[in-house]
Amino acid sequence: MTSASNSLTDTRSEPTVTVGLSQGDVSDFFALLKPRVMFLVVFTALVGMVVVHPTIHPVVAFASLLMIAIGAGASGCLNMWWDADIDAVMTRTRKRPIPAGKIAPGEALAFGLTLSAGSVIVLGLVSNWLAAGLLAFTIVFYAVIYSMWLKRTTPQNIVIGGAAGALPPVVAQAAVAGHVGWESLILFAIIFIWTPPHFWALALVKSSDYARAGIPMMPNVAGPDSTRRQILAYTVFLAPLGLAPVAFGFGGLAYAAIATIGGLGMLALAVQVYRLREGEPAMRVAQQLFAFSILYLFLLFATLLAEHGFGLFRPVFG
Partner 1 sequence: MVLASSGRFSGDPMEQNPLPHLTPEEQKRRRRRSVALGLALGALVLLFYVVTIAKLGPGVLNRPL
Binding site for partner 1 (CB under 8 A): 6-8, 17, 19, 21-26, 29, 57, 59-60, 63, 66, 126
| Cβ atoms of residues 32 and 116 within 8 Å | no
CA atoms within 13 A of residue 75's CA, in its CB half-sphere: 29
| Cβ atoms of residues 103 and 22 within 8 Å | yes
At residue 67, the 3 state secondary structure works out as helix
Closer residue to partner 1, CB minimum distance, 73 or 196: 73
Closer residue to partner 1, CB minimum distance, 83 or 107: 107
Q: How far, in Å, CA of 174 to CA of 48, rounded?
A: 9
CB of 2 to partner 1, least distance (A): 11
CB of 59 to partner 1, least distance (A): 4
Closer residue to partner 1, CB minimum distance, 63 or 89: 63
One-letter amino acid for residue 87 of the chain = D
Closer residue to partner 1, CB minimum distance, 23 or 288: 23
| CA-closest candidate to residue 180, choices 243, 135, 131 | 131
One-letter amino acid for residue 288 of the chain = Q
CB of 40 to partner 1, least distance (A): 22
Q: How far, in Å, CA of 140 to CA of 68, rounded?
A: 14
Q: What share of the chain is helix, strand, coil (3-state, %, to 5)?
A: 70, 5, 25
CB of 20 to partner 1, least distance (A): 9
CB of 62 to partner 1, least distance (A): 9
Closer residue to partner 1, CB minimum distance, 29 or 146: 29
Q: How far, in Å, CA of 303 to CA of 313, rounded?
A: 9
Closer residue to partner 1, CB minimum distance, 7 or 91: 7
At residue 20, the 3 state secondary structure works out as strand
CB of 19 to partner 1, least distance (A): 6
